[in-house]
Amino acid sequence: MKLYNARRREIWVVSTLFTLPVTLLLLVYIYYSVGYAFFLSFHNWNGIDPVKAFVNILNWKELFQDPSFTGAVKHNLVIVIMSLVIQQPIAIGTAFMLDRIGSRSAPLKVIYYFPALFSTSAVGMLFLFIYSPRNGIFTTFSRLFGGGIVDILGNPETSLMGVFSVICWTAIPFYILFYRAVMTGISREIYEAAVIDGASLSQYFFTILLPMIKFSIQTACTLSMIGSLKYFDLIYIMTEGGPNSSSELMATYMYRMTFRFRRMGYGSSIASGMFIFVVIFSLVFLFVSNKLLRENGELS
């Protein structure tokens, strides 16, 4: 018994030593930062003065009555829905195609993952030139056929979709790689058995493969949804939320209020509200998807 207790004590000490650095990093850079943001959301502060004036819940009242924030939430939800409807099917279909091609798809692996190799700032600047109303690709083709200037990012009706197409270009390769890894782990004997039973390629895809990777699809959709709700970099580089807030997201609006207008308190309330929104939305999505899987007999 003494030997057993000593062994358990050794395991506990070693485990604590290994997890201590990660725990400290989480406490300092995650939990403390989130807690401090909530603290600042109840204050009026410009980020410079040492005094932070306590304003109770005035920032939160303004947040819930702010039409700009409401519009940013709507744009984030549009990005979420479009990501799930467009990115995931394309990624699954492409991964399935590469899986069926087999070893001959080696050159394609480099091509389809190529967009993910660029940094976000480089991609944003590249597509600023592509979308340029002066000499961009769309304006050039328009002039070839007798048309005029095509200003996608400068048009409030097309700016959000213009940036979203760039988001898809950079995000889809990751999900292709994700689904490709999942499909590689599925035994080839399952496909061969389906073919022997007379199943076509589409029947195998819809009735056998998709049910087998449901949990992976759930994981990918969760990652896509969370990423879409807190998206910032490409939007800010390409449009800065404009024109007329037509591509404003919660993160870009928070950045603008915090660092341009120096409203650190109100910016913290936006960040805190975004944090709450992302957590609740993610939990609801996981609850609903798990319930659907249980009803289909996929979860015990």
Report DSSP state, residue 197: T
Q: pLDDT band for position 300 (50/70/90)?
A: very low
Task: Output the CA angle 15-20-24, nearest 5 degrees.
Answer: 160
pLDDT digits (tens, 9 = 90+) for 49-79: 888 899 999 999 999 999 999 999 999 999 9
Q: pLDDT band for position 105 (50/70/90)?
A: low
The kind and range of the H/E element at 43 are strand 43-44
Neighbours of 257 (CB within 10 A): 23
pLDDT digits (tens, 9 = 90+) for 238-256: 998 888 889 999 999 999 9
The kind and range of the H/E element at 196 are helix 188-196
Residue range 41-295 forms a domain whose CATH class is mainly alpha
Question: Under a CB-based contact definition with an 8 Å cutoff, are residues 221 and 85 in contact?
Answer: no
pLDDT digits (tens, 9 = 90+) for 10-56: 888 888 888 888 889 989 888 999 999 999 999 999 888 888 899 99
Q: How far apart are CA 281 and CA 287, in angstroms?
A: 10
pLDDT digits (tens, 9 = 90+) for 149-179: 889 999 999 999 999 999 999 999 999 989 9
Q: How far apart are CA 275 and CA 107, in angstroms?
A: 41
The whole-number average pLDDT for the span 121-141 is: 90
pTM over 0.85, yes/no: yes
